[in-house]
């Protein structure tokens, strides 16, 4: 089964942490998005968490709830739209742009560093265990490549 989406925003922070700032394009390697740094390597980064993903539609829904969230403020590297986010599973693969292929490896557990993206600092609003289908996702890179805002995303459900 195939599903199509699009890259809305590519987000990095060379100094590490959040927020991450939009860039028009970036190279994505086995270690992550070039130009992005993680301060806490125990919980972020590395081959299994090379790329963090989030849904543009969920960001919009959270904004409608009154949260001051925006692309990159919760630390995601790629903000994507057009995918049925709640149906994404560990093991699903995304082909992005001309060459990049990533595989979802885990749900990203929210922590206090993203509290400013939520009214009353309730960052657990995107915890997978409390709100299934609302979590950010981690992915490993299977094939390195350049990603650009506006690139097509093809989900291959195995």
76: domain CATH number is: 2.40.33.20
Residue 115 sits at the vertex; the CA angle it makes with 8 and 118, to the nearest 5 degrees, is 65
When comparing pLDDT for 55 and 41, which is higher? Answer: 55
- Rounded to whole angstroms, the Cα distance separating 99 from 43 reads 28
Q: Which two tokens stand for residue 153?
A: 């995303």
Handedness of CA 119, 69, 108, 136 (dihedral sign): positive
C-beta atoms surrounding 152 within 10 Å: 13
What pLDDT shows up at residue 43? 63
pLDDT tens digits for 75-113?
999 999 999 999 999 999 999 999 999 999 999 999 999
What pLDDT shows up at residue 2? 58
What pLDDT shows up at residue 24? 98
Q: Is residue 41 very low, low, confident or very high in pLDDT (cuts 50, 70, 90)? A: low
Characterize 108-127 residue by residue with b for buried, 16 or more Cβ atoms within 10 angstroms of its Cβ, and e for exposed.
bebeebbeebbeeeebebbb
pLDDT tens digits for 124-140?
999 999 999 999 999 99
Asked whether the whole model's pTM tops 0.85, one would answer yes
Domain count, the chain: 1
What pLDDT shows up at residue 46? 81
Question: Could you tell me the end-to-end alpha-carbon distance of the chain, in angstroms, rounded to an integer?
Answer: 8
- Rounded to whole angstroms, the Cα distance separating 116 from 31 reads 27
For 82-94, give the DSSP string. SS-GGG--TT-EE
Domain holding 30, by residue range, is 2-156
Statement: residue 1 has pLDDT above 80? no
């Amino acid at each position: 089964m195939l599903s199509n989406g699009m890259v809305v925003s590519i987000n990095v922070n060379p100094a590490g942490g959040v927020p991450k700032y939009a860039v028009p394009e970036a190279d994505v390697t086995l270690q992550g998005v070039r130009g992005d740094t993680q301060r806490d390597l125990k919980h972020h980064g590395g081959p299994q968490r090379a790329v963090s993903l989030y849904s543009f539609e969920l960001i919009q829904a959270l904004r409608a709830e009154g949260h001051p969230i925006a692309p990159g403020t919760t630390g995601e590297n790629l903000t994507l739209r057009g995918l049925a986010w709640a149906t994404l599973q560990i093991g699903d693969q995304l082909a992005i742009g001309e060459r990049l292929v990533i595989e979802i490896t885990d749900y990203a557990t929210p922590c206090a560093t993203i509290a400013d993206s939520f009214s009353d600092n309730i960052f657990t609003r995107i915890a997978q265990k409390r709100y299934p289908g609302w979590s950010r996702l981690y992915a490993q890179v299977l094939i390195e490549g350049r990603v650009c805002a506006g690139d097509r995303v093809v989900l291959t459900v195995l």
